[in-house]
Amino acid sequence: MFYAKTLKIRLSEMFRDSDESLLNDFLESVIPKQIESGLIHHPVEPFWSVLVIYTPQNDVELADGERILFDSYEPLTAEEEVLLMKLQNWRNEEAQRNSLPRHQVLHDAHLLTLVKVRPMKIEDFSKIKGISERKLAKYIDSLLTFFRNECKT
């Protein structure tokens, strides 16, 4: 089955890097079949519109060592929704503490993937695509504590 997603790359310097990063994260999280783009000459904020026709990676068996990143349209259970909101609050606090924009702590796709994977040990983070070693080094202790506290069995 194929899916379609449209992404917006705003041309202003304030948004371009984060929009491109989200596009790249998305493209790494799916199996693209076709990509089309066009410049939209909006009078206030021109932008590139990118249409991606894709197959979700979870429709494909992962090989050993392969990493995953879930899409923002991945359905969540009620329990996962609550966990995602708590994880978003954690990210907001980290962003404030470090004077960073939220997306520079972790992107939404990473939060969604963390909720699906529920890492309880350091090795579990190796399954997630797109979280740099630098970010892992900075946030792994806090993330492990978060998941161990929130996902007690």
Q: How confident is the model at residue 141, as a pLDDT?
A: 93
Q: How confident is the model at residue 80, as a pLDDT?
A: 87
Q: Which uninterrupted H or E stretch holds 32?
A: strand 30-40
Q: How confident is the model at residue 124, as a pLDDT?
A: 84
Q: How confident is the model at residue 125, as a pLDDT?
A: 83
Hey, how many other C-beta atoms are within 10 angstroms of the C-beta on 10?
Answer: 16
Q: How confident is the model at residue 8, as a pLDDT?
A: 92
Q: How confident is the model at residue 75, as a pLDDT?
A: 73
Q: How confident is the model at residue 64, as a pLDDT?
A: 59
Report whether 11 contacts 37 (CB < 8 A): no
Q: Where in the chain is the domain with CATH 1.10.150.80?
A: 78-150
Which has the closest alpha carbon to 55: 114, 112, 130, 4? 4
Q: How confident is the model at residue 91, as a pLDDT?
A: 94
Per-residue pLDDT of the chain in tens (153 residues, 90 and over written 9)? 678 889 999 999 888 888 998 888 888 777 889 999 999 999 999 999 999 998 876 554 455 566 677 766 667 788 888 999 999 999 999 999 999 888 889 988 889 889 988 888 888 887 788 888 888 889 999 999 999 999 875
Task: Tell me the backbone φ, ψ of residue 40, rounded to 5 degrees.
Answer: -100, 120
Q: Which fold has domain 78-150?
A: DNA polymerase; domain 1 (1.10.150)
